[in-house]
């Protein structure tokens, strides 16, 4: 046991010793819940060992009562204690769930330090990419990759989305994890109360670059944060829609990168999945849906609704070269004529179909007129009572099988 404790001494238990008030309250919730459950667990384990020792085979002093079957006092104890624990756990969980709701603005910065109307809030817009993080500071007109900073004791309002797969944003020292999804926006309110550099990561598997999708979060005093903003502006480069599309391409292990000028509306375009010219924004799509789902020239909208910029599903449903380049995706084997307008890839004529100039010829020796022969009831020979009439020579298969 002592060697195990020595090894655990090197662990960084940041979840149980965080530097942000929200994460600290979540840590307290874990401790309180554990202690409440131990009120039942410890006595039950102790009673198990006591019973095993007390009623061992070699103990002739233990009372043996084979006719015992009920004890009201024991039943009350067995049911009342767990019921009270469940009620207490339910109350603590219900209160904490509402107080620590990530969408709820903070009520306090630290114990005894409430948020007032004069308290400033730092706004950060977060975009999860493959496999890196992008942070927009709309009040400062800057953006960064894989580096986040905030003043100590200032509430932070995160707006989060994803331009790739669904993943989760997590800074253990700051607050709990929250998911990010393409075309959707989540919110997280948090605060950091101590200076330091903390780890941030993607806590939801999202592909081969998952393990390296990490960033550093800097908790700074106000002067340090102002200096960090000036460094970003001095060392950064402009971020336009065109340069964003280059940044968005999948990559791993990216060092911090700064942008000192962000094209207006870029984050909203990322959220709406319409950074590329000509793409329909999600807001426009929802407005069309709200009006009944039909818009003018709605057939052309299909081209505007292809939102896979990463190329992971390039061409799905549109041909392997749709959109040009990408990863050269493929279609399902059944995505062929007549519904899609593409020629069949099969080398054999499907049973029951009349051969034509656009389809494959029947297999050698195949008689398509008899394609449905023998499909009657089991054990019924052609011409027998109850059997279907034989097909006439030269008759075609049912019309629904011959659609072009």
Between CA 24 and CA 30 the distance in angstroms is 10
Distances (CA, A) of 182 to 185, 243, 248, 276, 309: 8, 20, 13, 15, 11
Spell out the SS3 assignment of the chain.
CHHHHHHHCCCCCCCCCCCCHHHHHHHHHHHHHHHHHHHHHHHHHHHHHHHHHHCCCCCCCCCCCCCCCCCHHHHHHHHHHHHHHHHHHHHHHHHHHHHCCCCCCCCEEECCEECCCCCCCEEEEEEEECCEEEEEECCCCEEEECEEEEECCCCEEEEEEECCCCEEEECCCCCCCEEECECCCEEEEECCCCCEEEEEEECCCCCCCHHHCEEEEEEECHHHHHHHHHHHHHHCEEECHHHHHHHCCCCCCCCCEEEEEECCCHHHHHHCCCCCCCCCCHHHHHHHHHCCCCCCCHHHHHHHCCCCCCCCCCCCCCCCCCCCCCCCCCCCCCCCCCCCCCCCCCCCCCCCCCCCCCCCCCCCCCCHHHCCCCCCCCCCCCCCCCCCCCCCCCCCCCHHHCCC
pLDDT at 78: 87
What domains sit in the chain, N to C, each tagged with a CATH number?
A: 113-271 (2.60.40.420)
Between CA 278 and CA 317 the distance in angstroms is 19
**Phi, psi of 189, deg, nearest 5:** -110, 135
Q: Which two tokens stand for residue 131?
A: 């496999």
278 band by pLDDT with thresholds 50, 70 and 90: confident
Averaged confidence pLDDT in the chain: 80
CA 380 to chain centre: 56
Say what percent of the chain tops pLDDT 90: 53
Distance, first Cα to last Cα, the chain: 75
Between CA 298 and CA 223 the distance in angstroms is 54
Dump pLDDT digits (tens) for 75-111: 898 899 889 999 999 999 999 999 999 999 999 999 9
pLDDT at 304: 73
Between CA 327 and CA 363 the distance in angstroms is 36
pLDDT at 320: 37
User: Nearest-CA neighbor of 148 among 42, 300, 258?
Assistant: 258
pLDDT at 86: 93
- CB neighbourhood size of 390 (10 A): 12
Dump pLDDT digits (tens) for 281-302: 888 888 877 877 665 666 666 6
Between CA 84 and CA 96 the distance in angstroms is 18
Peptide bond into 379 cis (omega under 30): no
Question: Tokens 């009342």 sit at which residue?
Answer: 80
Q: Region 130-153: what's the mean pLDDT?
A: 96
Q: Say if CB 170 and CB 203 are below 8 A apart.
A: yes
Say what percent of the chain tops pLDDT 70: 70
317 band by pLDDT with thresholds 50, 70 and 90: very low
**C-alpha radius of gyration, the chain, whole number:** 33
Dump pLDDT digits (tens) for 10-64: 567 888 889 999 999 999 999 999 999 999 899 999 999 998 998 888 888 888 8
Q: Does residue 148 have a pLDDT over 90? A: yes
Distances (CA, A) of 79 to 69, 72, 86: 17, 11, 11
pTM of the model: 0.70
Q: Say if CB 393 and CB 369 are below 8 A apart.
A: yes
Q: Taking the alpha carbons of 219, 221, 222, 228 in that order, is the dihedral positive or negative?
A: negative
Q: Which two tokens stand for residue 86?
A: 């469940």
Q: Does residue 356 have a pLDDT over 90? A: no
Question: Tokens 């309002």 sit at which residue?
Answer: 157
């Amino acid at each position: 046991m002592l060697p195990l404790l020595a090894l655990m001494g090197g662990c960084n238990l940041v979840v149980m010793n965080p530097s942000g008030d929200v994460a600290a309250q979540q840590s307290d919730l874990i401790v309180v819940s554990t202690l409440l459950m131990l009120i039942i667990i410890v006595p039950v384990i102790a009673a198990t060992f006591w019973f095993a020792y007390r009623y061992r085979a070699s103990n002739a002093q233990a009372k043996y009562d084979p006719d015992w079957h009920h004890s009201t006092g024991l039943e009350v104890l067995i049911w009342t204690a767990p019921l009270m624990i469940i009620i207490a756990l339910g109350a603590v969980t219900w209160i904490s769930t509402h107080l620590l709701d990530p969408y709820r603005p903070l009520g306090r910065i630290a114990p005894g330090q409430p948020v007032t109307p004069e308290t400033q809030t730092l706004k950060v817009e977060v975009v999860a990419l493959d496999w890196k993080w992008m942070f927009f500071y709309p009040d400062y007109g800057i953006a960064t990759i894989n580096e986040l900073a905030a003043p100590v004791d200032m509430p932070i309002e995160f707006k989060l989305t994803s331009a790739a797969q669904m993943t989760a944003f997590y800074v253990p020292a700051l607050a709990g994890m929250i998911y990010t999804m393409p075309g959707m926006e989540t919110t997280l309110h948090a605060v950091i109360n101590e200076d330091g550099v903390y780890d941030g990561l993607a806590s939801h598997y999202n592909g081969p670059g998952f393990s390296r999708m990490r960033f550093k979060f800097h908790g700074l005093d106000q002067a340090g944060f102002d200096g960090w903003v000036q460094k970003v502006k001095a060392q950064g480069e402009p971020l336009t829609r065109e340069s964003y599309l280059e940044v968005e391409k999948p990559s791993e292990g990216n060092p911090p990168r700064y942008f000192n000028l962000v094209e207006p509306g870029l984050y909203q375009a990322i959220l709406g999945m319409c950074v590329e010219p000509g793409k329909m924004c999600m807001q426009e799509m929802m407005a069309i849906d709200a009006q009944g789902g039909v818009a003018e020239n709605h057939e052309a909208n299909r081209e505007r609704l292809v939102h896979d910029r990463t190329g992971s599903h390039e061409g799905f449903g549109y041909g392997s070269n749709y959109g040009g380049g990408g990863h050269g995706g493929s279609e399902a084997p059944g995505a062929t004529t007549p519904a899609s307008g593409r020629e069949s890839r099969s080398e054999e004529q499907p049973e029951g179909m009349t051969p034509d100039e656009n389809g494959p010829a029947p297999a050698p020796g195949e008689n398509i007129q008899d394609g449905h022969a023998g499909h009657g009831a089991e054990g019924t020979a052609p011409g027998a009572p109850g059997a279907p009439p034989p097909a006439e020579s030269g008759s075609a298969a049912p019309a629904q099988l011959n659609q072009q």
